[in-house]
Amino acid sequence: MAQLIDGKAFAASLRNDIAEEVAKLHQQGITPGLAVILVGEDPASQVYVRNKGKQTIEVGMSSFVHKLPESTSQTDLLALINKLNNDNSVQGILVQIPLPDHIDADTVINAIDPRKDVDGFHPVNVGRFSTGGNGTIPCTPLGCLMLLKDQLGDLSGARALVLGRSNIVGKPMSTLLLNENCTVTTAHSRTKDLQEECRRADILIVAVGRPEMVKGSWIKPGATVIDVGINRIEQDSGKARLVGDVQFSSAAEVAGAITPVPGGVGPMTIACLLLNTLTAALRQNDLPIPTWIPTQN
């Protein structure tokens, strides 16, 4: 049986370290603030919002949640972002993706002040991060990388396959692993011989949004498997259950180590969001970044 990678425990310890730094900021009269905007009702986004607000308060930050109806106009959303860009009690702004079809996500992301972009989705941050500078590292890939390094140590030379190429998970994950000197393949819906590609990987990161798509037979024996998927499955009982993009039962028989869903990547995403908010608050106050916080330089 594979070793279980306990993202929930790792995230709790990371939040403790964050809370200590925030306490130091309080002594200087600074309280980092995180604003979250949710438009409409994407299920994965709702799980995210539910867990996020509470943990933001627990580490000593202020939490501002803006839940807007599906029908919200792009103009109104841009006006809210503009207000938050100029709000001194807010150091981090996150707009939940996906947005409703009548809103252009790129326009919205571009409107966020890059210094307050704690998701790392603004082109300025994507550019800096991709070229190895100190742009914000996107939360989910950063969380996955922390788990991988904790599990494996140095990743140099490992063969990594990232399944999925979205701007929010797959693409930045591939960039991050490349920066860690992995040999990286990015797979997607047009990839030929997908199962074969997966079976070659020492490190397999799955972010497709397809419940339990990757089976144990796709996995190289002993590989490290990181399951990013968050899918809500209706059960016969009528109750919903969360499953990942990997079929856990069969994968755990083959993999060397694997993250569960829930309790794997999800809690790490939130902890890294709080970490990015802390870093943003430090930078906006011209304070040094403690050495334990991962940046790229």
Ligand X SMILES: NC(=O)C1=CN([C@@H]2O[C@H](COP(=O)(O)OP(=O)(O)OC[C@H]3O[C@@H](n4cnc5c(N)ncnc54)[C@H](OP(=O)(O)O)[C@@H]3O)[C@@H](O)[C@H]2O)C=CC1
Ligand Y SMILES: Nc1nc(=O)c2c([nH]1)NC[C@@H]1CN(c3ccc(C(=O)N[C@@H](CCC(=O)O)C(=O)O)cc3)C=[N+]21
Q: Which residues are annotated as a binding site for NADP(+)?
A: 164-166, 230
Kindly tell me which of 19 and 243 has the beta carbon lying closer to ligand X. 243
Taking a C-beta distance cutoff of 8 angstroms, is the pair 280, 92 a contact? yes
Looking at this protein, which amino acid is placed at residue 272?
C
In three-state secondary structure terms, 161 is strand
- Contact residues for ligand X, defined by CB under 6 A: 44, 140, 164-166, 168-170, 188-190, 194, 207-210, 228-231, 245, 265-266, 269
Q: Which residue's structure tokens are 């499955």?
A: 233
- Choosing from 4, 30, 47, 124, the residue that interacts with ligand Y (CB under 6 A) is 47
Among ligand Y, Mg ion, ligand X, none, the one that 225 touches (CB under a kind-dependent 5 to 8 A) is none
Please tell me the distance from the alpha carbon of residue 90 to that of residue 62, in angstroms, as a whole number.
8
- 225 or 230: CB nearest ligand Y: 230
Q: Annotated binding residues, as ranges?
A: 164-166, 230
**DSSP per residue, 166-198:** -TTTHHHHHHHHHHTT-EEEEE-TT-TTHHHHH
- According to CB under 6 A, which one of 4, 51, 284, 289 is a site residue for ligand Y? 51
The pair of three-digit structure tokens given for residue 234, joined into one six-digit string = 């209706």
Look at residue 47 and give the partner it binds from ligand Y, ligand X, Mg ion, none, a contact being a CB closer than 5 to 8 Å depending on partner kind.
ligand Y
Q: Is 96 a catalytic residue?
A: yes
267 binds, among ligand X, ligand Y, Mg ion, none (CB under 5 to 8 A by kind): ligand Y
CB 35 within 8 A of CB 84: yes
Contact 261, 244 (CB under 8 A): yes
Q: Is 119 a catalytic residue?
A: yes
| Closest to Mg ion by CB, 33 or 170 | 170
* Structure letter (DSSP) for residue 132: T
Which residues carry out catalysis?
Answer: 52, 96, 119
